[in-house]
Amino acid sequence: QVQLQQSGAELAKPGSSVKISCKASGYTFTSYYISWIKQTTGQGLEYIGYINTGSGGTNYNEKFKGKATLTVDKSSSTAFMQLSSLTPDDSAVYYCARFEVVLAYWGQGTLVTVSS
Amino acid sequence: DTVLTQSPALAVSPGERVTISCRASESVSTGMHWYQQKPGQQPKLLIYGASNLESGVPARFSGSGSGTDFTLTIDPVEADDTATYFCQQSWNDPFTFGSGTKLEIK
């Protein structure tokens, strides 16, 4: 069965970076893009962007350009999202999801807390 | 960006019919999808392409609409349907989500 397993919670200091992973199993990794979504209580769900897992090509929501960097490692069927120059506004649960226009399969979410 | 507007909360009794609405600030054709999210869990896809039931989702759930006005219907509602329901559009870039409708079963 399709599974997306995300890395564990992160506690980071303002100004630092974190890198979240999303390991896919149960399907051919390069047949589907991977999307990333941010969820906060205040802003709800926000679409960060997606990555073509075959070519590495990316598409970002303008709001997250310069904040998020999406990459993949095809050898391990893993997608990554790096968040840089962290501020408290980046504190959120981040999800990866298999992208096929709709988001039919989601990871369990990774909580990122930015605090000094 | 395309703004999706949902009513914040609804409360219904088991066995009733409930409709959850989502209005888009511009046309999204039929590129509208619905998700259910329970506390502490990831969202779950219910309806895609405005009216197509995702595999494994009970037929109590249905969707309708096109353009700017969309509806998710649950009939009949069960206690387990307590959750927040989000709409999401994939027609315009960037994809956007509604703010969610919290459904309480009385």
What is the reported pLDDT for B8?
Answer: 86
The burial of A41, by beta-carbon neighbours within 10 Å (0-12 exposed, 13-18 middle, 19 or more buried), is given as exposed
B39-59 burial code (b ≥16 CB/10 A, e <16): eeebbbbbbbebbeebeebee
Residue from B42, B46, B102 whose CB has the most chain A CBs within 10 Å, to mutate: B42
What is the reported pLDDT for A100?
Answer: 83
Cα atoms in the Cβ-side hemisphere of radius 13 Å centred on B81: 30
Q: A101 vs B100: CB contact, 8 Å cut-off? A: no
Residues of A in contact with B100 (CB under 8 A): 44-45
Phi, psi of A31 (to 5 degrees): -85, -10
pLDDT tens by residue, A31-90: 999 999 999 987 799 999 999 999 999 999 999 999 999 999 999 999 999 999 999 999
Q: Worst-scoring range by mean pLDDT, A11-20, A84-93, A99-108?
A: A99-108
Percentages helix, strand, coil for chain A (3-state, rounded to 5) are 10, 55, 35
Enumerate the H helices of chain B as residue ranges: none
Closest listed residue to residue B35, CA positions, set A86, A1, A102: A102
Under 8 Å between Cβ of B22 and B100: no
Mean pLDDT of B25-54: 97
What is the reported pLDDT for A39?
Answer: 97
What is the reported pLDDT for B28?
Answer: 97
Phi, psi of A64 (to 5 degrees): -105, 5
User: B7 falls in which pLDDT band (50, 70, 90)?
Assistant: confident
What is the reported pLDDT for A42?
Answer: 78
The burial of B82, by beta-carbon neighbours within 10 Å (0-12 exposed, 13-18 middle, 19 or more buried), is given as middle
What is the reported pLDDT for A43?
Answer: 79
Sequence-distant (6+) residues with CB within 8 A of B76 are: B14, B15, B16, B17, B60
Q: B100 vs A107: CB contact, 8 Å cut-off? A: no
The burial of B13, by beta-carbon neighbours within 10 Å (0-12 exposed, 13-18 middle, 19 or more buried), is given as exposed
Q: A101 vs B94: CB contact, 8 Å cut-off? A: no
Mean pLDDT of A101-112: 95
A63 to chain B nearest CA, in Å? 9
User: A22 falls in which pLDDT band (50, 70, 90)?
Assistant: very high
Under 8 Å between Cβ of B35 and B88: yes
Closest CA in chain A for residue B55: A104
Residue A21 pLDDT greater than 90, yes or no? yes
What is the reported pLDDT for A14?
Answer: 97
Q: A103 vs B88: CB contact, 8 Å cut-off? A: yes
Is B34 within 8 Å of chain A by CB? no
Among candidates B31, B54, B90 on the partner chain, residue whose Cβ is nearest the Cβ of A104: B54
Residue B89 pLDDT greater than 90, yes or no? yes
Mean pLDDT of B15-38: 97
Mean pLDDT of B67-96: 96
Q: A102 vs B48: CB contact, 8 Å cut-off? A: yes
Residue B91 pLDDT greater than 90, yes or no? yes
Percentage of chain B lying above the pLDDT 90 cut: 98
Is B95 within 8 Å of chain A by CB? yes
What is the reported pLDDT for B51?
Answer: 97
Residue from A103, A105, A106 whose CB has the most chain B CBs within 10 Å, to mutate: A103
Chain mean pLDDT for chain B: 96
